[in-house]
Structure 1
């Protein structure tokens, strides 16, 4: 699938992804800096990937979703290159991901962030509270 806005494109075609640019982007983040490059790339290949491309074709951003397509999805690795920030591209990327027909009917869409709560709240995300928060568990390896 492909979406266009102001010369930028979001595309789910994995063959268009710039592997080196994406790995460089993600290695600069607090959440993926310690993850081996091969593991990062394998996680992308096993997910629904959204490449964001500038008008000149540069890999300007990225997001991915791990999902079963109906009941659960995990939104992850959302990134916009610093040179392209401040143009609403992050908002557009999130809007596109959650409205993508492959994701739009998923019942529970979750994510984790240290610092972008307000960005996600605009799109309907909220922090888990009370009983919902108490139900969530994890196994870290």
Structure 2
């Protein structure tokens, strides 16, 4: 799948991904800095990946979704390169992911963020509260 806006492209073709650029950006994040590069790349290859490319073809952003494409999806590793920020590209990336026809049947889309709640709330995400929050569990290894 491919989406175009203002010369930028979002594409799900994993052969177009710039491995080194993506790994460099993810290694600089709070959520993936401790993950070995080989494991990061394997996680990308086993997910639905969304590469964002600038008009000159540079890897400008990225997101991935771990999913069974029917009931559940986990949105992860979302970023836009600093040089391309403040243009609405992050909003467009999230909008593209949640409206991707390949994910249309997904009932529950989850994510975890330390600092981007406002961005995701703009797209309909809510924090888990009450009974819903008490149902969620995790196993960390």
Q: TM-score, normalised by structure 2?
A: 0.99
CA RMSD of aligned residues (A): 0.4
Equivalences for residues 52-131 of structure 1 within 5 A: 52-131=52-131
| Superimposed CA distance per residue, residues 105-138 of structure 1 (whole angstroms, 9 cap, x where no aligned partner) | 2100000000000000000000000000000001
SS of the aligned residue for 1:10 comes to strand
Does the alignment pair 1:42 with 2:42?
yes
Unpaired segments of 5 or more residues in structure 1? none
Q: TM-score, normalised by structure 1?
A: 0.99
Q: 1:47 Cα shift?
A: 0.1
**What is the match of residue 10 of structure 1?**
10
| Superimposed CA distance per residue, residues 1-41 of structure 1 (whole angstroms, 9 cap, x where no aligned partner) | 00000000000000000000000010110000000000000
Q: 1:78 Cα shift?
A: 0.2
SS of the aligned residue for 2:137 comes to coil
Q: 1:104 Cα shift?
A: 2.3
Distance 1:85 1:105 in 2: 31
Task: Detail structure 1 runs of 4+ shifted over 2 Å in the superposition.
Answer: none
Unpaired segments of 5 or more residues in structure 2? none
Give the number of aligned pairs: 141
SS of the aligned residue for 1:102 comes to helix
